[in-house]
Homo-oligomer: A and B are copies of this chain.
Amino acid sequence: MSVYIMADEALFQFLHNEVIQYIYKSSEHGEMENGRCITKLENMGFRVGQGLIERFTKDTARFKDELDVMKFICKDFWTSVFKKQIDNLRTNHQGIYVLQDNKFRLLTQLSAGKQYLEHAPKYLAFTCGLVRGGLSNLGVKSIVTAEVSVMPACKFQVMIQKM
**Across-interface contacts of A44 in B (CB, < 8 A):** 15, 18, 22
A76 (CB) vs chain B CBs: closest residue: B3
Tell yes or no: A12 within 8 A of B by CB: yes
| Interface residue tally for chain A (C-beta within 8 Å) | 29
Structural contact, A12 and B10, CB atoms closer than 8 A: no
Tell yes or no: A88 within 8 A of B by CB: no
Structural contact, B12 and A56, CB atoms closer than 8 A: no
Structural contact, B12 and A15, CB atoms closer than 8 A: yes
Q: Could you show 18 A-B contacts with beta carbons less than 8 Å apart?
A: A3-B56, A3-B76, A4-B79, A7-B52, A7-B81, A11-B48, A11-B52, A11-B80, A12-B12, A12-B15, A14-B48, A15-B15, A15-B19, A15-B44, A15-B48, A18-B19, A18-B48, A19-B19
Q: List 16 additional A-B contacts (Cβ < 8 Å) besides A12-B12, A22-B40.
A: A3-B80, A4-B80, A6-B55, A6-B56, A8-B12, A10-B51, A10-B52, A10-B56, A11-B80, A14-B47, A14-B52, A15-B15, A15-B44, A18-B47, A19-B22, A31-B31
**Across-interface contacts of A47 in B (CB, < 8 A):** 14, 18
Tell yes or no: A103 within 8 A of B by CB: no
User: What secondary structure prevails in chain A residues at the interface with B?
Assistant: helix
Chain A interface residues toward B at CB < 8 A: 3-4, 6-8, 10-12, 14-16, 18-19, 22-23, 26, 31, 40, 44, 47-48, 51-52, 55-56, 76, 79-81
